[in-house]
Amino acid sequence: MRIQIGYRMQFGIPAPTPMLMNLHVRPDTYAFARPERLSLAPHTPSELFTDAYGNASRRLVAPAGDFAISSDAVVEVPDQADAVDWQAVQHPIDALPYDVLPFLVASRYCEIDRLGEFAWKRFGHGPTGYLRAQSVCHFVHQHLQFGYAYADATKSAHGAFLERRGVCRDFAHLAIALCRCMGIPARYATGYLGDIGVPPVAAPMDFSAWFEVYLSGRWFTLDARHDQPRIGRVVMAYGRDAADAALTTSFGPTVLKHFEVWTSEV
């Protein structure tokens, strides 16, 4: 399956401002029918590097005034929905690969110390492995109300748990934190997710966030916002939470004046 993906952002910047970006498709993960082409207007020198989580990151100093970032590509993805394996098992903590361990502990937006007691009461007496992770996913889907008006860059998993509302990143953070409480490594994922194989949504397209759990020696995709396997995900960045996988980070005042995302089957 081929999917056209892309975005355009325009910022208003009072003075030259350093920025970090995770706006590329995850390296070495997908084939392209038309490669990504990043455009910076006005043209601005930038450096591409691989961050600690294997994401393709870019560093630049955005010039003062209107500054636009855009990209467009056609990527090839499987035409099957997210893999499901009800028999997938949890690993003992002492048997996990070392590179998986960071996804088992607390992070900026996922406070396992504040959610551990609830997690064990709710999920500690049920099944383990994939069944447990899916139980967490379903709980979060039912517990939180989705709404763009509920977006808050400072809201954590515990905050979303108490407020019972949020956007896709809050659904992911709460599910990640609860999984980690139960000994299941979980990582944050962000990228493109269009309305492929599901009824179209009237709201403007946005980037999406979901999570992955490490079971039976591999990562499985779960999505607490939608609570069902989906077709056509394109990962841009992984991290412990949204702090590690922020699409843009500016080190000075900036104003987002325009933002659009597109993804559709071609």
Average pLDDT (192-203) is 91
pLDDT in tens, 99-119: 999 999 999 999 999 999 999
Tell me: pLDDT of 144 over 90. yes
Q: Burial level of 154, CB count in 10 A (0-12/13-18/19+)?
A: exposed
Nearest to 27 by CA among 4, 55, 7: 55
The crossing angle, in degrees rounded to 10, of helices 168-181 and 129-143 is 140
Question: Is the preceding peptide bond at 78 cis, omega within 30 degrees of 0?
Answer: no
Tell me: pLDDT of 139 over 90. yes
pLDDT in tens, 28-62: 999 999 999 999 999 999 999 999 999 999 999 99
pTM above 0.85, yes or no: yes
Q: Which CATH number fits domain 2-78+247-265: 2.60.40.2250, 3.40.50.880, 2.40.110.10, 3.90.1150.10?
A: 2.60.40.2250
Q: Which CATH number fits domain 93-239: 3.40.50.11540, 1.10.10.10, 3.40.1160.10, 3.10.620.30?
A: 3.10.620.30
Ramachandran class of 166: left when φ > 0, alpha when ψ lies in -120 to 50, beta otherwise: left
Q: CA 108, CA 239: separation in Å to the nearest integer? A: 11
* Local confidence band at 202 (pLDDT 50, 70, 90 cut-offs): confident
